[in-house]
């Protein structure tokens, strides 16, 4: 026999083509052969198989495991159970290439020279099992492996899948955070859809991280089985730990499989991320703030009273504007509108207008600032609240306390011409409240005149006719309770009477005051706050002289000094401005003036009882009376905004233009403001989300580290818990020696559960016939230990005593122990 070079055994094992018997019995001829084909007499019939005796098929591969062949076009695969790596590699059928079996082609007596060319197939095409003549072989040396469609997805079962899932999970967590951060503090829209998007991102993150842990769990499971001898109940629990919660109750797991137990618990806890993370985005009513410009913002400008001539009505949107004062005139004004004022023709003050009196009355009775109707909607816009600040100059009362306590400061009070002292107040006097607000008050009847103010007697007018000589000082005395927590004495006969009250006296002067006020419109209500006020100067800088008649030809006998500071009607603009200030002060002082006697019960002789300054429970003044009195006057001033027909109510953006009842639509009239509204907004609690995801990512990272170590221990072979993997690991015949129970329902005896199994190399010593009735081959393949004659090798589970150990097969202990995070391959 001609000497041939034997092909390595791996060539046979790595080729996995199925063959037909017809391929061995009939040569295949190429249709493009350059050699002459064998004559029909020299070749057997095309469809008649020839029987090949064993001795005829003699070549160097004789002792290799030969493919099982049969008559016809049936395919049989190589028996791969003998291969020592059969549990780690899935061997697929592959077509034989020309160079793999050149020795067979060149020495087989059945092949003609023409069939040995590179364009011929030795075996039939597996896609066409009925054909004996296949297509030509590809050029010499070219791989002819046919890629099945499912093989394109084998990369999903690689170790990179675990790392990729971890990266996807981390990216999902970051995306979830970015999505919720984008929605944070945004008005709610498509709420259900946004929550669904968040739940989807949470699911992707949870699924990816959990899948990475499950992948690591599978690798660590097989590594644990290789490292340790385990009872079958423990192995059952290991394989079921991620799908059967009761499997975690196995008490052996914390002792022999801590890593697998930890990974299983992680898998069971990961679904919590889907519950916890969407809850980090909630909806809450929050304030939406917008710094912008508001329309219809008004202010007060008392200077608008200066040029106002009551003879010339001014209208806005057909509504006449109203001044704060009523006037008399020394002459019939008909036909004299353009006549300048002189010593015989002038206007002089009479009283406040009815509109001013109405505004003050509403404020006093409502005990608050009267808001302008629809002010919130006109200024802020529908659905909005707004806040803005304005400044204006208006009258104000500057108050100071003069006396406090019984018999206090009586001499100073006398020097200041005070109309009363502390002895007039309880407990020494009989009044709990005294107010004198008309000392030096302007007399509305200046001379004997006909209706309209013209004098009845023709002649020169008095020099001080209509002159503002002084602005009355407001003197107020009241008694406070010393101890608000003790009961009030019933009368002055009560021994506790003298120790229950503290008399106080203070005076208030009328000043020109600069106000800074913040308006706050919330829904339909209006709130005002005096942010700052500065007292500039007295409206009339004179001092009243009591008990001294003027005797100047007028019915006003008020005397004040210095006379040079009197304000005369011919000083028209200044006079009209002072009249406006005086009118506002007068309507306020009318409420303050009077007395209230008190001896266990009150007898009121004052309109102060109509205001919020008197406590209705005991008819004493309220706490912080001086401050509250000033606020009461300020409420009256701010109530002037409620009547936009007042001449002094102007636009904040154009203070020299009266507003009337119109709304400001001109952009030049807009005023800076802050709009707010309560809207439902998304609220994102990033801290809670990242606590959840940080724990999940940390657990997944630890799990992947366990998985990476297990992969290294498994020689970087990815293992699974699929049925095929379990079958491959339990095919050793020695398992049949266990006392299995004959049951079609899969019942397992308790004695089997207690069996201790290990995972390793198992040699079946029972002889098994080869497919052709031959003895099993004796050889040592690459990476395989010498095979025991008459036996077969398996990698998988078996009783510990049946596992092959020692140096006779591996040269070292193949079950060397390693730690969970060991990256040693064994």
pLDDT per position as a tens digit, 491-530: 888 888 988 999 999 999 999 999 999 999 998 899 999 9
Q: Are 654 and 735 found together in one domain?
A: no
Q: Are 612 and 684 found together in one domain?
A: no
pLDDT in tens, 688-732: 999 999 999 999 999 999 888 888 888 888 888 888 888 888 888
Q: Are 72 and 118 found together in one domain?
A: yes
Residue finishing a domain among 146, 167, 186: 146
Let me know if residue 413 belongs to a domain: yes
Mean pLDDT to the nearest integer, 223-234? 86
- pLDDT at position 388 is 97
3-state helix, strand, coil in the chain (%, to 5): 35, 20, 45
- pLDDT at position 796 is 84
Query: Which range in 159-173, 245-259, 305-319, 575-589 is most confidently predicted, on average pLDDT?
Result: 575-589
Which range marks the domain in which residue 283 is found?
157-295+675-721
- 242 pLDDT tier (thresholds 50, 70, 90): confident
Nearest by Cα to 639 from 321, 365, 316, 325: 365
Q: Which residue has the higher pLDDT, 346 or 95?
A: 346
Q: Are 76 and 221 found together in one domain?
A: no
Global pTM reads 0.64
- 278 pLDDT tier (thresholds 50, 70, 90): confident
- pLDDT at position 9 is 39
- pLDDT at position 146 is 55
- pLDDT at position 589 is 97
Q: Hey, how many other C-beta atoms are within 10 angstroms of the C-beta on 343?
A: 11
Judge whether residue 167 has pLDDT over 90: yes
Q: Are 315 and 457 found together in one domain?
A: yes
Query: Which range in 42-51, 205-214, 757-766, 790-799 is most confidently predicted, on average pLDDT?
Result: 205-214
Q: Are 543 and 632 found together in one domain?
A: yes
Q: Are 474 and 516 found together in one domain?
A: yes
The values of phi and psi at residue 278, to 5°, are -65, -25
Let me know if residue 738 belongs to a domain: yes
Let me know if residue 152 belongs to a domain: no
Let me know if residue 528 belongs to a domain: yes
Residue finishing a domain among 98, 120, 146: 146
DSSP string, 514-550: EEEEEEEEETTEEEEEEEEEEEEEESS--EE-TT---
Judge whether residue 110 has pLDDT over 60: no
Judge whether residue 764 has pLDDT over 50: yes
Residue finishing a domain among 93, 116, 146: 146
Let me know if residue 743 belongs to a domain: yes
- pLDDT at position 424 is 92
Which contacts of 106-112 are long-range, i.e. CB under 8 A and separated by 24 or more positions?
106/4, 107/2, 107/4, 107/59, 108/57, 108/59, 109/56, 110/24, 110/25, 110/26, 110/27, 110/50, 110/52, 110/56, 111/27, 112/27, 112/29, 112/35, 112/37, 112/38, 112/42, 112/43
- pLDDT at position 30 is 38
- pLDDT at position 774 is 43
Q: Quick one: tokens of 165? A: 């899932």
Q: Are 322 and 435 found together in one domain?
A: yes
Q: Are 519 and 635 found together in one domain?
A: yes
Let me know if residue 526 belongs to a domain: yes
- pLDDT at position 752 is 83
- pLDDT at position 746 is 76
pLDDT in tens, 329-341: 998 766 666 778 8
Compute the mean pLDDT over every residue in the chain, rounded to the nearest whole number. 78
pLDDT in tens, 441-484: 999 999 998 988 889 888 889 999 999 999 999 999 999 999 98
- pLDDT at position 147 is 54
Of the chain, the percentage scoring pLDDT greater than 90 comes to 42
- pLDDT at position 139 is 52
Mean pLDDT to the nearest integer, 782-791? 44
Whole-number Å distance between alpha carbons of 403 and 414: 11
Let me know if residue 151 belongs to a domain: no
Q: Residue 634: CA atoms inside 13 Å, Cβ hemisphere, count?
A: 23
Nearest by Cα to 621 from 759, 448, 503, 480: 480
Q: Which residue has the higher pLDDT, 171 or 59?
A: 171
Domains in the chain, number: 4
Q: Are 191 and 339 found together in one domain?
A: no
The values of phi and psi at residue 62, to 5°, are -60, -35
pLDDT in tens, 77-86: 333 334 444 4
Of the chain, the percentage scoring pLDDT greater than 70 comes to 74
First-to-last alpha carbon distance for the chain, in angstroms, is 44
Judge whether residue 69 has pLDDT over 80: no
pLDDT in tens, 361-401: 999 999 999 999 989 999 999 889 999 999 999 999 999 99
Judge whether residue 199 has pLDDT over 60: yes
Does residue 9 contact residue 36 with C-beta atoms inside 8 Å?
no
Judge whether residue 101 has pLDDT over 50: no
Q: Which residue has the higher pLDDT, 242 or 158?
A: 242
Q: Are 391 and 424 found together in one domain?
A: yes
Judge whether residue 198 has pLDDT over 60: yes
Q: Are 423 and 449 found together in one domain?
A: yes
Judge whether residue 428 has pLDDT over 70: yes
Mean pLDDT to the nearest integer, 88-102? 40
């Amino acid at each position: 026999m001609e000497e041939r070079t034997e092909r390595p055994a791996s060539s046979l094992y790595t080729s996995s083509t199925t063959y037909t018997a017809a391929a061995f019995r009939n040569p295949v001829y190429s249709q493009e052969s350059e050699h002459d084909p064998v004559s029909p007499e020299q070749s057997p019939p095309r469809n008649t198989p020839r029987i090949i005796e064993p001795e005829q098929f003699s070549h160097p591969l004789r002792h290799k495991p030969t493919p099982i062949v049969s008559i016809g076009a049936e395919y049989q695969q190589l028996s791969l159970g003998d291969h020592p790596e059969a549990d780690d590699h899935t061997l697929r059928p592959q077509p034989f290439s020309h160079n793999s079996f050149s020795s067979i082609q060149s020495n087989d007596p059945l092949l003609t020279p023409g069939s040995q060319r590179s364009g011929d197939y030795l075996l039939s095409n597996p896609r066409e099992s009925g054909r004996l003549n296949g297509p030509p072989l590809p050029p010499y040396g070219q791989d002819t492996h046919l890629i099945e469609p499912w093989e394109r997805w084998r990369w999903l079962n690689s170790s990179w899948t675990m790392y990729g899932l971890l990266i996807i999970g981390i990216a999902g967590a970051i995306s979830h955070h970015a999505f919720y951060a984008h929605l944070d503090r945004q008005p709610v829209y498509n709420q259900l859809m946004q929550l669904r998007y968040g739940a989807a991102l949470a699911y992707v993150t949870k699924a990816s991280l959990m899948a990475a842990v499950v992948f690591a769990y599978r690798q660590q499971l097989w590594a644990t089985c290789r490292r340790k001898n385990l009872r079958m109940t423990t192995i059952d629990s290991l394989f079921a730990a991620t799908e059967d919660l009761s499997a975690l109750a196995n008490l052996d797991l914390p002792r022999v499989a801590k890593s697998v137990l930890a990974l299983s618990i992680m898998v069971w806890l990961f679904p919590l991320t889907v519950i916890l993370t969407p809850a980090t985005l909630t909806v809450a009513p929050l304030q939406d703030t917008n710094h912008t410009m508001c329309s219809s913002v008004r202010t007060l400008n008392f200077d608008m009273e200066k040029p106002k001539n009551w003879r010339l009505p001014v209208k806005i949107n057909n509504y006449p504007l109203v001044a704060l004062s009523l006037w008399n005139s020394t002459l019939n004004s008909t036909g004299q509108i353009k006549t300048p004022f002189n010593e015989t023709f002038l206007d002089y003050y009479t009283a406040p207008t009815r509109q001013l009196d109405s505004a003050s009355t509403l404020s006093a009775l409502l005990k608050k600032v009267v808001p302008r109707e629809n002010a919130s909607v006109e200024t802020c816009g529908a659905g909005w609240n707004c806040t803005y600040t304005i400044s204006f100059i208006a009258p104000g009362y500057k108050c100071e306390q003069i006396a406090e306590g019984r018999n206090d400061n009586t001499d100073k009070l006398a020097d200041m011409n005070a109309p009363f002292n502390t002895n007039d107040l309880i407990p020494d006097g009989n009044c709990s409240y005294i107010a004198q607000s008309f000392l030096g008050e302007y007399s509305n009847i200046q001379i004997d005149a006909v209706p309209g103010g013209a004098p009845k007697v023709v002649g020169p007018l008095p020099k001080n006719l209509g002159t503002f000589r002084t602005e009355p000082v407001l003197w107020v005395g009241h008694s406070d309770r010393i101890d608000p927590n003790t009961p009030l004495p019933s009368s002055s006969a009560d021994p506790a009477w003298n120790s229950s009250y503290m008399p106080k006296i203070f005076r208030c002067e009328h000043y020109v005051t600069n106000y800074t006020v913040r308006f706050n419109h919330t829904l339909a209500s209006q709130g005002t706050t005096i942010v700052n006020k500065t007292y500039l100067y007295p409206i009339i800088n004179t001092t009243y002289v009591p008990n001294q008649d003027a005797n100047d030809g007028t019915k006003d006998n008020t005397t004040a000094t210095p006379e040079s500071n009197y304000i005369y009607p011919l000083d028209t603009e200044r006079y009209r401005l002072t009249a406006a200030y005086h009118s506002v002060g007068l309507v306020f002082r009318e409420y303050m003036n009077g007395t209230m006697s008190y001896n266990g019960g009150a007898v009121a002789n004052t309109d102060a009882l109509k205001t919020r300054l008197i406590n209705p429970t005991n008819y004493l003044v309220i706490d912080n009376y001086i401050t509250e009195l000033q606020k009461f006057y300020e409420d009256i001033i701010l109530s002037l905004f409620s009547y936009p027909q007042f001449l002094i109510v102007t636009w904040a953006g154009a203070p020299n233009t009266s507003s009337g009842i119109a709304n400001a639509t001109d952009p030049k009239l807009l005023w800076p403001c802050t709009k707010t509204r309560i809207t439902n907004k998304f609220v994102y609690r990033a801290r809670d989300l990242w606590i959840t995801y940080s724990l999940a990512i940390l657990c997944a990272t630890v799990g992947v580290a366990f998985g990476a170590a297990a992969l290294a221990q498994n020689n970087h072979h990815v293992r699974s818990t699929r049925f095929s993997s379990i079958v491959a690991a339990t095919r050793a015949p020695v398992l049949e020696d266990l006392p299995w129970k004959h049951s079609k329902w899969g019942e397992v005896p308790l004695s089997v559960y207690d069996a201790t199994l290990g995972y390793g190399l198992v040699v079946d010593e029972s002889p098994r016939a080869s497919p052709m009735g031959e003895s099993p081959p004796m050889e040592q393949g690459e990476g395989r230990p010498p095979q025991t004659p008459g036996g077969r090798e398996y990698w998988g589970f078996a009783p510990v005593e049946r596992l092959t150990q020692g140096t006779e097969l591996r040269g070292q202990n193949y079950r060397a122990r390693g730690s969970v995070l060991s990256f040693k391959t064994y």
